[in-house]
Structures are given as structure tokens and as C-alpha cells.
Amino acid sequence: MRIPLIAAGLLLVLAGPVCAETLDIVPATANPPGNRPDRGMSMERVEAKFGAPTARRPAVGDPPISRWEYPGFVVFFEKSRVIHAIARPTRSSG
């Protein structure tokens, strides 16, 4: 009866310290959806509305997924259509 209690106590002692990571979350108000391309937009329409991206990453995989990077957001395309547009986190200088 005492052996399981002693074993449990020993496991707790040997478990060691617990570590945690900090996760920075960008508030949704930092870059509202209207400031990013909508799902389904063509590459041509994205470039016409938002200008040329700062970087274009080539397509990879099947179906081909490519990425355009803008200062405030990143756009992911499947073939030539937007599948996701996400806000880039802004770094505070504090």
C-alpha cells in the first residue's frame, strides 16, 4: 500500500522544474480584414489593389502554394487564387 505512494512521491521529486514559453499574440484590431486581400482574389487583383509585394516566394507542393509578402501581411495562393492572408506581427520597441 505504501509502495505506490512512495513511487508517486519519488516521481514528483524527479520530474524537475517546469518550463514555459511566451507567446506574442497580435490583436485582431492591429490589421483588420479589410486591409488584406480576400479569399478567392486573383493574383492580378491583389497586385492591382495592394501594389507589388516586397517579396514573392515560389510555389511549392501539389497543389502549388506560393506566398507574397507585404509590410503588413502575407498572402498565400493556391495556383493563382488567395487561400489565406494573415497579418504580420508588429514588434514593439518597448
Residue that wins the pLDDT comparison between 67 and 15: 67
35 close to 74: Cβ distance less than 8 angstroms: no
Q: Which fold has domain 25-94?
A: Beta-lactamase Inhibitory Protein; Chain:B, domain 1 (3.30.1450)
Per-residue pLDDT band for 7 (boundaries 50, 70, 90) equals low
Question: Which residues are registered as beta bridge partners of 78?
Answer: 65, 81
Model-level pTM? 0.62
- For 44, 56, 76, 83, 92, the CA distances from 65, given in Å and listed in that order, are 16, 12, 7, 9, 31
Say how many C-beta atoms besides its own lie within 10 A of residue 75's C-beta.
22
Residue that wins the pLDDT comparison between 88 and 73: 73
- Peptide bond preceding 37 in cis form (omega within 30 of 0): no
pLDDT beyond 80 at 29: no
Q: Where are the domains of the chain?
A: 25-94
